[in-house]
Chains A and B, each alone.
Chain A
């Protein structure tokens, strides 16, 4: 059975694409055949984050419009043979994303026996975001510990429970997971940042993980490597935990407690 997972947030710049890339990569690392689709038509970026930008020939819209075969547009990851990327189109407008076309693409991927299809949603609440979530079985709602992001996530949670195929047909609702990114435990301890308990209490959605704020994310995107590949970094470990929890494993939260800096480091600097 193929599971469709949408990575969404409402607000832009909170880490949807970073998460989609690492989450899909993590699923493939665990041996699941996974396809990650960029739904951000017009502003594609997943290809850059995945490091496949020079290998994009055809994209999602070409497949949706039936101009080419799906297999021609699927880009196979260089490191993981169970991971495929479907890029978004850069040239056409968002209305090019037709619901019937999207459904057909997803059905074809199911027929190819993918275990997971990860849909990287664009920001906003327009057609692209609605298309990305429409056929979802589960959702990762990416939220930063910051007021506008939390508010937009609440909005998106409302849409997941009213606008998706599952909601409209009265089927079992989309399973929602809250993922908090750019979390800084030291600032939380100082009372300058919403804590994960605060966010959890406000959004009332099960927490699947916390990704700490980290320089490694920029380093990863600079290189075109999903952050989960950066061995030994807290971000990579946190994403691996998210994947494990998604697959049903019980993992305690990590990187959520403030780290005391020694006075030596505080005085003399250093990382």
Chain B
């Protein structure tokens, strides 16, 4: 069988298919792990707690987001203050 494939020049070996699939999925998963560290939800909760001391806001008014730009990691914190009457 390997013989035939060799001459027909088709069909990659299943091991190389496995390798390609793994490299793709792991690159994706590693990215996911590093771009949103698991302290973000807690950071968000604590920010809400601190800001709530001074201004009344909803937990949803704070958005915390981690982004990777080349070698830099950018932590973006967006706080929407309620409209003052």
**Closest approach, in angstroms, between the C-beta of B22 and any C-beta of chain A?**
5
Given contacts A151-B26, A154-B29, A154-B30, contact A191 B13 (CB under 8 A): yes
At the interface, yes or no: B78 with Cβ under 8 Å from chain A?
no
Interface of B is mostly: helix
At the interface, yes or no: A193 with Cβ under 8 Å from chain B?
yes
**Closest approach, in angstroms, between the C-beta of B56 and any C-beta of chain A?**
35
Contacts of A150 in B (CB 8 A): 22
At the interface, yes or no: B84 with Cβ under 8 Å from chain A?
no
Can you give 11 contacting A-B residue pairs, CB < 8 Å?
A147-B21, A158-B33, A188-B15, A190-B2, A191-B2, A191-B16, A198-B15, A198-B18, A198-B19, A202-B23, A202-B26
Q: How far is the CA of A158 from the CA of B33 in the complex (A)?
A: 8
Question: Interface code B9-49, partner A: CB below 8 Å = 1, 0 otherwise?
Answer: 00001111011011101100110010000000000000000
Q: How far is the CA of A155 from the CA of B33 in the complex (A)?
A: 9
Contacts of B26 in A (CB 8 A): 151, 154, 202
Interface of A is mostly: helix
Q: Is the CB of A194 within 8 A of B18?
A: yes
| Shortest Cβ distance from A198 into B: residue | B19
Q: How far is the CA of A151 from the CA of B23 in the complex (A)?
A: 9
Known: A192-B13, A194-B18. 19 other contacts (CB 8 A): A146-B18, A147-B18, A150-B22, A151-B26, A154-B26, A155-B29, A158-B30, A158-B33, A190-B13, A191-B14, A191-B15, A191-B16, A192-B15, A193-B15, A194-B15, A195-B15, A198-B19, A202-B19, A202-B26
Q: How far is the CA of A151 from the CA of B24 in the complex (A)?
A: 11
Q: How far is the CA of A36 from the CA of B22 in the complex (A)?
A: 33
**Closest approach, in angstroms, between the C-beta of A201 and any C-beta of chain B?**
8
**Within residues 144 to 174 of chain A, which ones have a CB less than 8 A from any CB in chain B?**
146-147, 150-151, 154-155, 158
- Most central of A155, A191, A195, A202 by chain B CB within 10 Å: A191
Question: Interface code A167-205, partner B: CB below 8 Å = 1, 0 otherwise?
Answer: 000000000000000000000101111110010001000
Contacts of B23 in A (CB 8 A): 202
Q: How far is the CA of A190 from the CA of B3 in the complex (A)?
A: 11
**Closest approach, in angstroms, between the C-beta of B31 and any C-beta of chain A?**
12
Contacts of A202 in B (CB 8 A): 19, 22-23, 26
Q: Is the CB of A147 within 8 A of B13?
A: no
- Most central of B2, B16, B19 by chain A CB within 10 Å: B19
Contacts of A151 in B (CB 8 A): 22, 25-26, 29
- Most central of B14, B18, B29, B30 by chain A CB within 10 Å: B18
| Shortest Cβ distance from B21 into A: residue | A147
Q: How far is the CA of A198 from the CA of B2 in the complex (A)?
A: 20
Q: How far is the CA of A147 from the CA of B23 in the complex (A)?
A: 10
**Closest approach, in angstroms, between the C-beta of A134 and any C-beta of chain B?**
16
